[in-house]
A and B are shown apart, each in its own frame.
Chain A
Amino acid sequence: MAFNVLVVDDSAVMRTMVVRTLKMSGIPLATVHEAANGEDGLRLLGEEWIDLVLLDVNMPVMNGEEMLQRMRASPATRDIRVIVVSTEGSETRLAALRQIGASIVHKPFAPTTLRNTILRVTGVSDAEYYGAVPVADAGGDF
C-alpha cells in the first residue's frame, strides 16, 4: 500500500523539509499534498483521499488543533491518522492533541524520528519489503 499524505504547515520551508524527509524515509508514498493552514487542509481532505496527515499547530486562519478537532467531528475524516509535527511545547496542548488521537513529533526532528513515528502510526512494519532506503545518519537532524 502506498500512502497519500497531506502536509499542513504555514511555513513553505518546513513543508519542504517534511516532504524531503518523507521521500528519503522509505515509506511507500503515492501522492504528497500540501496545505498552508487548517482551512486549506480540510478543503483538501474533502477533495482527495488522504491516509496520513502531518500537521503543524501554530498556523494562521485555522490552527492545527482546530483542524484536528474538525476532522474528528466528521465521519469522513475522523479515522485518518494524524501526526502533529510542531515546536509546541505546552504539555497542556500536547495532552489535548493526544487525547484526540494525534501522535507528536517535536521540531526540530531527526529523519529517523519522523520515519519511525510514521511506521508506528501507519502500521507499516516491513519497510524493507517496500524498498526502504537508509535514512541519513542522526547527524542529519531536521
Chain B
Amino acid sequence: MPSTMEQCLSQTLAATFEELALTCADFNLSDTQRAAPVDVAMAVSFSGPLNGWLVLKATSHILPAIAENMLGSDIVDDPSVERDALGELANVICGNLLPLIGGAQAVFVLSAPQAFDNADQTSRYSPSARTCVGIESGRAVAQLLLSDDSRRALGLPVAEPIAALA
C-alpha cells in the first residue's frame, strides 16, 4: 500500500486511466507531453470524515481517444460526452482514493462530477496532493484539495499548502 497521500493519488490515477480508459499512464513525461496544456477540468467534491475536492485536468485533445476507449467509437465525437468521460474518471479516482487516505471503514458522500472552470469553487480548500501522468500526446493532472479540518485530522500543516495546480 502506498505510504503517502501523493503516492496514493499517483497509484489511483494511473490505475484508473489504465483500467477504465484503457490507456497507458506514464510518469516519465516526454517533452511533448510536458508542454501540452491542461485545458479542460472536471471535479468531484466529497464529504464525510474528510472534506474536499478531487480535481482532474487534462489536455483536451486526448479526450476523444479516452472517450472512444470507454464508450466505443460509435457513440462519441461529442465534446460534452468527452467531458463526461473525464468526469467519470475523476469520480472513480476519488472513490478509490478516499479509502486509502481516510480508512477502509470511513463512509464518504461524493458529488456528481462537475466542470471545474472557476477556482472560487474550491477556494476554501488547500491543495494537499498533486500528480501528473503523460497520456497519449498530452497529460492529465490530478489534485486533491482538503479542508483545513481534514488536513488537521491527517496531521498535515494548515498554513503551508503545496504549490497550486499547474
Contact = CB atoms under 8 A, between A and B. Distances in A.
B85 A89 contact: no
Interface stretch (B67-75, B130-138, B145-153): B67-75
A90 B85 contact: no
Main secondary structure of the interface of B (DSSP, over half): helix
Interface stretch (A7-15, A69-77, A115-123, A125-133): A7-15
Nearest to B17: A108
B70 A58 contact: no
B71 A20 contact: yes
Given A90-B107, A91-B104, A142-B19, A11 B95 contact: no
Contacts of A141: 18-20, 22
* Residue with the greatest number of chain B CB neighbours at <10 A, chosen from A17, A89, A108: A108
A87 B107 contact: no
A58 B47 CA distance: 12
A: interface residue count bin: 20 to 34
B95 A107 contact: yes
Interface stretch (B28-36, B86-94, B119-127): B86-94
Nearest to B99: A89
A134 interface: no
B71 to A, nearest CB: 5
Contact of B70 (A10, A17, A93): A17
A139 B96 CA distance: 20
Nearest to B95: A87
A86 interface: yes
A16 interface: yes
A107 B20 contact: yes
Interface in A1-35: 10-14, 16-17, 20
B84 interface: yes
Contacts of A87: 91-92, 94-96, 110
B70 A88 contact: no
A107 B19 CA distance: 9
B95 A13 contact: no
Given A11-B91, A16-B75, A58-B110, A89 B19 contact: no
Interface of B: 15-16, 18-20, 22, 70-72, 75, 81, 84-85, 87-88, 91-92, 94-96, 98-100, 104-110, 112-113
